[in-house]
Amino acid sequence: MTEPTPFPPAHPSPPLAAPPARPGDPPPGEPWYLPTGDEHAVFEAAWAARLPVLLRGPTGCGKTRFVEHMAWRLHREAGRARTALDVPLVTVACHEDLSASDLVGRWLLSGDATVWRDGPLARAVRSGAMCYLDEVVEARRDTTVVIHSLTDHRRVLPIEKTGELLEAHPDFMLVVSYNPGHAAAGKTLKASTRQRFVSLDFTYPGIDAETTIVAHETGLDAPTAQRLARIGERLRHLEGHGLDDGVGTRLLVHAGKLIARGVPPRLACDVAIARALTEDADVRRAITDVCDVLMP
Ligand SMILES: Nc1ncnc2c1ncn2[C@@H]1O[C@H](COP(=O)(O)OP(=O)(O)O)[C@@H](O)[C@H]1O
Ligand SMILES: [Mg+2]
């Protein structure tokens, strides 16, 4: 058997850790986020007014990164009270089996006794952290009850199993995300839930912004990053024509990271973009054609 040939490095020194710092970068530790509209100002005002925020948009367009960035930023700016928090952001990836108990907490056996263990939402409510419920419509219906009591003037979390009515810490904030692309599958937010939130819409960045994002996240040079951004833009035209899920910036970043580590660009696009998007051979060929034209 012959040894596989390693890919020749496309760049003299591929970034193996964090990409090098660039002018305008945030302080070390703060997740980098490129604003594409007035999301910073709206989020900060919502935070100041203690209003819950809903991030709407397709997968891979920066919602999670934005929340991480804002949690970090508000944590840094808010002074000692918040910087004393162990975790400024508690993220829960919602799924179809996630119930209110998973969020609120449960009794656990400890030797002969039972002890109460707060769930992630209760921990955030108690400590004044930000809680991010990612893809909230995936969760079971019984989670709506706890979300509702936390998102109106009451700001309380009823813990049924212990009888506690937990009042939210003044700094607690609830953020949820929602992908409207899944509405066709019956996954929509009820109006009574949606109307409690300030809504921020996320969409794909334009070519220039996406080039900046891909270059920043991968360490690639601007021309290569721009080719990936163009591929993203072109593939988005295929949405609805065989491509059902959105072509998120995430896919372009993944392809870029492979290229930066020496994977030939067309192979990187195939494994990180085409195969990630579809199982259908014809659609994959259409994607590969676009990549071959734009990625020489
Ligand atoms: N505006 C942005 N600023 C910085 N990075 C971004 C931005 N939009 C997308 N990204 C990149 O795309 C990746 C996926 O974004 P993410 O926030 O996880 O998407 P979502 O939560 O919307 O599915 C991030 O890890 C980041 O590399
Ligand atoms: Mg996300």
| pLDDT tens figures, 103-136 | 999 999 999 999 999 999 999 999 999 999 999 9
Residue 24: what pLDDT? Answer: 61
CA 266 from centre of chain: 27
Residue 241 has phi, psi (to 5 degrees) of -110, 55
Residue with tokens 């949606």: 194
* CA atoms of 162 and 106, how far apart (whole Å): 9
- Ligand 1 mean position, distance from CA 59 (Å): 9
Q: Which two tokens stand for residue 266?
A: 């067309």
Q: Compute the distance from residue 161 Cα to the ligand 1 centre, in Å.
A: 38
Instruction: Pick from 204, 207, 213 the residue to mutate for probing ligand 1's pocket: most ligand atoms within 8 Å of its CB.
Output: 213
Whether the pLDDT of residue 3 is over 90: the answer is no
Mean pLDDT of the residues in the chain: 88
pLDDT in tens, 186-215: 788 889 999 999 999 999 999 999 999 999
What's the pLDDT tens digit per position in 68-97?
999 988 887 765 455 556 678 999 999 999
Q: 163's torsion region: left (phi>0), alpha (psi -120 to 50) or beta?
A: left
pLDDT mean over 25-52: 89
Largest CA distance in the chain: 69
d(CA 87, CA 189): 28
Q: What is the pLDDT of residue 188?
A: 85
* pTM, to two decimals: 0.89
Ligand 2 (single-atom ion) residues, CB below 5 Å? 64
